[in-house]
């Protein structure tokens, strides 16, 4: 139980700041709808289209991805840097359990972050005389939680490999950028899922570009594949951690 | 006292690239004794302890800790339930308060003694509500010691435990270690403070360049170790002085200084037969044995 508490205490500031930042940005996009809407399109946009363009396809998505990277940082390599790894590793606990606890807490935090737009957008929209369907918001939350888990796992793997305060996040961002680039290269695009598009629905069969609304059933095969990929990265991280010297 | 071994290593080696931090170490630590682990900086003491606790994987060789293999993750984890450890860094989770860290640590061990923890908290004057990051180095060291001494483990491993403590706190620590040993806990501690080791240790292991160069009890030190100083009328003979028990020979102009274990009379007699004009046989301190064991010729004649 105390390992969960330790994992929470290590990440709670990052998580709470991230949650507040996401909520504020969401609220800002709702309350400044008229001002922002004019800035992103010359033509009048429907409210669901505006929300999609500014959040699920726009800045909020990029912010969420960065926050998922931040939540993945830490772990034993970082503890070695801070010289607390000896204390942790002397506990009668396996390295696998240490990593698993941190992973579960991190996944939980990423999922909670993904739900923030789903809570804030439908809740605040009526205050400006608009409506955003909860069903849409929660469907996007599932897609964000899926991709967020994968990004978290990439970041966690980077923090297993690199101890430095800046090295791990830079490596995670580079890895994510490289993946996104490769997913757009024509011979590879059929094999690699573009995670930006999974999050926004853009160019996906379950999304209607004209209205900015998710229409068909969610891509469960893609969701499970991405979760499986995230789990695979965690297992690789655990395998490396077990072989590291501290 | 038991003759059982709580730590045993056989040819234990750790290499970092070409550098051998620990080389073919055969270490035996007896149960219910206080064993001092001496060596210069970089001699391999901390690396040895890290290998014992499963933090670092040996390059080769084997070892057991409380009868369990050190390189088997599951067995090592089981052994760690019965071991308290204070590392050389004494860095603890900065984000916890003192009382949170105590609560965190005690949740892992069945041998936690709340009354001892409470007493140490008062003795060490540690503020329970203060964050670890706000503690001074000395207070952090005291907190690390509290977390180890509040238990009743089979084995207590301490890496430079007195570093950062004032003389009064060091004295208290030494008394607590003696007290723990008298309750049946085996203590294995590394230190640079030879006087501390000499005061409380039953046995001493000296490591140099990753190799065990001496392993003796303090009784053996007092009984068997002697310095034999031979004075000559002319320059001391350049021949190699080879006899059983000789640990080290130093030559300086007209004098030969021989560190010998258990054969001092024969060495003195040999000196006389070599026409030594003076022969002195004197007991030797731990400090002298340590310095003789780890000093190279270049240290003596820079």
Query: Which pLDDT band holds residue B234 (cuts at 50, 70, 90)?
Result: confident
Task: Indicate the average pLDDT of chain B.
Answer: 92
* The pLDDT of residue B103 is above 60: yes
Contacts of B78 (CB under 8 A, 6+ apart): A92, B68
Size of the A and B interface in Cβ pairs below 8 Å = 67
Residue owning tokens 């004209």: A210
Would you call A91 and B55 a contact, using CB atoms and an 8 Å cutoff?
no
Calculate how close chain B gets to A165, using CA atoms only, in Å: 16
B67 conformational bin, left if phi > 0, alpha if psi -120 to 50, beta if neither: left
Q: For residue A93, which residues of chain B lie inside 8 Å, CB to CB?
A: 77, 108
Would you call A86 and B85 a contact, using CB atoms and an 8 Å cutoff?
yes
* Residue A132 main-chain phi, psi, to 5 deg: -125, 125
Residue A9 has its nearest CB partner, among B80, B85, B95, at: B95
- Round to whole Å and give the CA distance between A19 and B213: 58
Would you call B85 and A2 a contact, using CB atoms and an 8 Å cutoff?
no
Kindly tell me the sign of the dihedral angle through the C-alpha atoms of A181, A184, A186, A192: positive
Would you call A1 and B107 a contact, using CB atoms and an 8 Å cutoff?
yes
* The pLDDT of residue A70 is above 60: yes
Calculate how close chain B gets to A181, using CA atoms only, in Å: 37
Q: For residue B88, which residues of chain A lie inside 8 Å, CB to CB?
A: 86
8 Å CB contact between B147 and B85: no
Summarize pLDDT for A10-26 with one digit per residue, the tens. Answer: 999 999 999 999 999 99
pLDDT for the residue B302: 45
Query: Which pLDDT band holds residue B12 (cuts at 50, 70, 90)?
Result: very high
Query: Which pLDDT band holds residue A210 (cuts at 50, 70, 90)?
Result: confident
Summarize pLDDT for A94-151 with one digit per residue, the tens. Answer: 999 999 999 999 999 999 999 999 999 999 999 999 999 999 999 999 999 999 999 9
Residue A90 has its nearest CB partner, among B85, B95, B104, at: B85
**Nearest Cα to Cα of residue A108 among A11, A20, A1:** A11
Residue A10 has its nearest CB partner, among B54, B74, B95, at: B95
Query: Which pLDDT band holds residue B229 (cuts at 50, 70, 90)?
Result: very high
SS3 content of chain A, % helix, strand, coil (to 5): 75, 0, 20
Summarize pLDDT for B143-152 with one digit per residue, the tens. Answer: 999 999 999 9
Number of Cβ atoms within 10 Å of the Cβ of A56? 24
Residues of B contacting chain A (CB within 8 angstroms): 50, 53-57, 73-74, 77-78, 80-81, 83, 85, 87-89, 91-96, 103-104, 107-109, 144
pTM of the model: 0.88
């Amino acid at each position: 139980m105390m390992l969960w508490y330790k994992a929470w205490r290590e990440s709670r500031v990052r998580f709470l700041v991230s949650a507040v930042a996401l909520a504020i940005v969401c609220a800002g996009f709702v309350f400044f709808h008229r001002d922002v809407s004019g800035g992103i399109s010359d033509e009048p946009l429907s409210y669901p289209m505006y929300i999609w363009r500014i959040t699920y396809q726009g800045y909020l998505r990029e912010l969420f991805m960065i926050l998922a990277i931040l939540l993945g940082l830490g772990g034993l390599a970082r503890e070695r840097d801070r010289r607390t790894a000896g204390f942790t590793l002397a506990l009668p606990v396996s390295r696998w359990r240490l990593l698993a606890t941190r992973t579960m807490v991190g996944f939980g935090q990423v999922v909670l972050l993904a739900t923030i737009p789903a809570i804030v957008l439908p809740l605040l929209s009526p205050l400006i005389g608009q409506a955003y369907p909860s069903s849409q918001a929660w469907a996007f939350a599932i897609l964000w939680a899926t991709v967020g888990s994968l990004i978290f796992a990439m970041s966690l793997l980077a923090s297993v490999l690199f101890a430095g305060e800046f090295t791990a996040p830079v490596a995670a961002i580079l890895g994510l950028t490289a993946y996104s680039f490769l997913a757009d290269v024509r011979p590879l695009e059929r094999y690699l899922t573009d995670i930006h598009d999974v999050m926004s629905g853009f160019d996906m069969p379950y999304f209607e570009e004209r209205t900015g609304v998710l229409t068909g059933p969610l891509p469960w095969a893609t969701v499970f594949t991405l979760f499986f990929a995230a789990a695979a990265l965690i297992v690789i991280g655990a395998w490396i951690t077990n072989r590291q010297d501290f | 006292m038991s003759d059982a071994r709580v730590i045993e290593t056989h040819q234990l080696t750790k290499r970092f690239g070409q550098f051998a931090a620990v080389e073919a170490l055969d270490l035996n630590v007896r149960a219910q004794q206080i064993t001092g682990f001496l060596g210069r900086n970089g001699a391999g003491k901390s690396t040895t302890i890290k290998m014992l606790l499963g933090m670092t994987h040996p390059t080769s060789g084997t070892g057991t800790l409380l009868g369990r293999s050190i390189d088997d993750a599951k067995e090592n984890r089981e052994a760690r339930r019965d071991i308290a450890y204070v590392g050389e860094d004494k860095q603890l989770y900065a984000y916890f308060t003192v009382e949170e860290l105590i609560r965190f640590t005690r949740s892992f061990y069945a041998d936690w003694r709340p009354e001892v923890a409470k007493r140490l908290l008062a003795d060490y004057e540690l503020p329970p509500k203060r964050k670890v990051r706000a503690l001074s180095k000395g207070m952090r060291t005291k907190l690390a010691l509290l977390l180890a001494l509040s238990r009743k483990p089979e084995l207590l491993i301490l890496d430079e435990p007195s570093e950062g403590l004032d003389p009064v706190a060091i004295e208290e620590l030494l008394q607590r270690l003696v007290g723990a040993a008298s309750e049946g806990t085996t203590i294995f501690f590394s230190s640079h403070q030879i006087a501390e080791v000499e005061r409380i240790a039953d046995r001493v292991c000296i490591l140099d360049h990753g190799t065990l160069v001496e392993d003796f009890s303090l009784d053996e030190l007092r009984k068997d170790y002697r310095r034999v100083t031979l004075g000559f009328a002319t320059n001391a003979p350049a021949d190699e002085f080879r006899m059983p028990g000789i640990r080290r020979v130093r030559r300086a102009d007209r004098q030969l200084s021989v560190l010998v274990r258990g054969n001092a009379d024969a060495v003195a007699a040999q000196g006389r037969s070599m026409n030594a004009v003076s022969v002195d046989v004197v007991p030797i301190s731990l400090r002298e044995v340590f310095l003789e064991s780890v000093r190279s010729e270049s240290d003596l004649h820079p």
